[in-house]
């Protein structure tokens, strides 16, 4: 079975369920008494960068499996599709703001703060947004998190941002950035460098989804994990799947150049 298909994604989720992992949203994690969390859990997060309809597909699979996940939407048209956002909320999932205000406001902190407030209120029309997540924007010279150099997201009623409010000393971070699970080598910002060496030493490094499934079956997969996917990568349609493969390989080359500078 090809990797990064919806069939493969569902297989990943069902294998985790069979092995006793519980799924929680990032909002659930932030609100919880950390001592009361399950011994084995997955914080399931999705960054909706483009092709929002792909996110509806993953949301439907999760709903069928009685799983709730966190979906972070950008303001750009490829991501911000009101009807799809409504449908994902109706399926029981969390919605958050995938912010990139510093890039969109060309590094102007004052404008970025107003822009953030405006769009946070927009997404709160669909869901009482309590968590946010930065968009990596690898080709932008502005890191989205720079906005917090001059203000605090908690002043906006936000209780969590994954890169600030996840205990990565206990929770392993896995993301499909680069269309691979060890894409931290070609990632500009979607990575946790402070802990990556530790995870490498523990053997928590996987290249394919099958590698993850094998680790789950062998009981060598970490017990507490944040899994981040970009649903536009998970496609059953062969032509779109092949296009995404070629496009991502080209993007990875560009990222390597950016990282090496």
Q: What is the band of 162 on the pLDDT scale with cuts at 50, 70, 90? A: very high
Longest dimension (CA), the chain: 51
Q: Which phi and psi angles does 62 have, rounded to 5°?
A: -65, -40
CATH code for residues 6-260: 3.20.20
> Rounded to two decimals, what is the model's pTM?
0.94
Render pLDDT for 187-197 as a digit per residue (tens, 0 to 9).
767 889 899 99
Q: What angle do CA 58, 184, 132 make, to 5 degrees?
A: 55
Render pLDDT for 4-44 as a digit per residue (tens, 0 to 9).
999 999 999 999 999 999 999 999 999 999 889 999 999 99
d(CA 101, CA 261): 24
Render pLDDT for 44-60 as a digit per residue (tens, 0 to 9).
999 999 999 999 999 99
Question: Which pLDDT belongs to residue 93?
Answer: 98
pLDDT for 185 beyond 90 = no
Place of tokens 């966190």: 70
pLDDT for 226 beyond 90 = yes
Question: Could you tell me the residue ranges of all domains in the chain?
Answer: 6-260
Element (H, E) at 58: helix 52-64
Place of tokens 């206990």: 170
d(CA 256, CA 211): 24
In this prediction, residues 87-110 reach a mean pLDDT of 97
């Amino acid at each position: 079975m090809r990797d990064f298909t919806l069939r493969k994604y569902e297989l990943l989720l069902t294998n985790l369920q069979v092995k006793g992992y519980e799924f929680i949203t990032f909002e659930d994690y932030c609100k919880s008494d950390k001592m009361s969390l399950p011994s084995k859990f997955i914080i399931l997060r999705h960054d909706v960068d483009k092709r929002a309809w792909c996110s509806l597909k993953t949301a439907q699979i999760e709903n069928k499996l009685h799983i709730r996940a966190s979906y972070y939407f950008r303001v750009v048209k490829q991501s911000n599709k009101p009807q799809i956002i409504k449908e994902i909320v109706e399926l029981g999932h969390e919605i958050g703001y995938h912010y990139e205000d510093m890039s969109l406001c060309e590094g102007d902190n004052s404008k970025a703060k107003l822009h953030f407030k405006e769009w946070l209120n927009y997404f709160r029309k669909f869901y009482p947004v309590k968590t946010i997540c930065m968009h990596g924007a690898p080709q932008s010279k502005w890191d989205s998190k720079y906005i917090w150099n001059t203000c605090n997201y908690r002043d906006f009623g936000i209780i969590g941002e994954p890169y600030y409010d996840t205990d990565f000393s206990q929770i392993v971070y896995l993301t499909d950035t680069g269309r691979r699970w060890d894409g931290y080598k070609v990632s500009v910002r979607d990575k946790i460098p402070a802990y990556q060496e530790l995870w490498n030493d523990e053997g928590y490094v996987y290249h394919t989804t099958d590698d993850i499934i094998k680790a789950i079956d062998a009981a060598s997969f970490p017990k507490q994990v944040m899994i981040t996917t970009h649903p536009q990568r998970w496609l059953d349609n062969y032509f779109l799947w092949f296009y995404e493969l070629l496009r991502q390989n080209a993007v990875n080359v560009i990222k390597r150049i950016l990282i090496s500078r």
